[in-house]
Amino acid sequence: MIVTVTANPSLDRTIEVDRLRRGEVQRAIGDRVDPGGKGVNVSRALVANGHATRAVLISGGHAGTELLDLLAEAGVPIIEVPVSLGVRSNLTLAEADGTVTKLNESGPVLRAEEIEELLDAAISAPPNYALQTPSSSIERPTAWIAGCGSLPPGVSDDFYAVLVERARAAGAATVIDSSGAALEACLAARPDLVKPNLEELAEASHTPIRTLGDAVKAAQVLRASGAGAVLASIGADGAILVDADGVWHARATATGPVASTVGAGDAALAGFLAAGGRGPEALAAAVAWGTAAVSLPGSIMPAPKDIDLGAVEVTRTPDSGRVLS
């Protein structure tokens, strides 16, 4: 069971244009509305591929109602935490050449009791937890709790750190996919896995990244700060996994046209967890799912027919001098 926690979900509208011309009135060539938020996307990808998940998220307002309806239509099991203010609506402008412009609202201000209800819902969501050895180390987690995305106003930067500590006490493994202060604050709580993109990795490690070797060093900084493992998306160059067993790099050997990069990192995390949440096989799945996602419009999550594991190459000793795209 993979439980996702989305403190700041959204209703995501994508409008497609041939080319965005600022200051002009122009007609859209396509549009769609999707449920949004990083954890929501992870759960959507898991459901699309037949994996058990539950999406814990706040809801409120007209956008929140539409968001829940869309998730129900997609068959995503939901644990709803009602809040007094409405969830946010985001707008994505997608141009024909692949350029994406996102306009994201901040989200509702949450009260202290609403934050506590969200944490309680996350911890009580999995039906069972990991079997533990006498040394209390998790061998094969039967439950992952994934804290994903930005935090809305009113939520302290230590939200994910608290989530990690409570999940560990309950016996679940944890992954955090966030950025900025929230990502850095969670490291001291020792999450089992963190999943930054390249920009987030550089920011959290305070390390400039130009090459594959730089990315590995930055991931090692996060591990030294408390992360058990680091799964980092590095754009067109695939992803790296740095954990106690070593370093791996995976990339797609064949890619098609890019339709949208929105949600690709979330699909990658879903693939990694679906494939066991550790090791090179899970890394290969992450890249395959993420590569499939960028070929689809809006934030559509890939289905089995879209995913090609055979088109992913995994290397145990990455080329540290490789300049990243």
Give the active site residues. 266
Query: Nearest 10 degrees: CA dihedral of 73, 78, 82, 83?
Result: -90
- Give the C-alpha separation, 271 to 307, whole Å: 10
> Two tokens at 35?
């449920």
- Give the C-alpha separation, 289 to 258, whole Å: 14
Distances (CA, A) of 144 to 141, 205, 253, 264: 7, 25, 30, 20
Strands 173-177 vs 2-6: parallel, antiparallel or unpaired: unpaired
Any idea which residue has 């998790």 for tokens?
Answer: 138
Strands 78-82 vs 53-59: parallel, antiparallel or unpaired: parallel
Do the Cβ atoms of 228 and 244 come closer than 8 Å?
A: yes
Angle subtended at Cα 246 by Cα 162 and Cα 131, rounded to the nearest 5 degrees: 50
- Short-list 289, 310, 291, 304, CA closest to 42: 289
Judged by DSSP in three states, 244 sits in coil
Sequential DSSP letters for 265-301: HHHHHHHHHHTTSSHHHHHHHHHHHHHHHHTSSTTPP
> Two tokens at 241?
């996994």
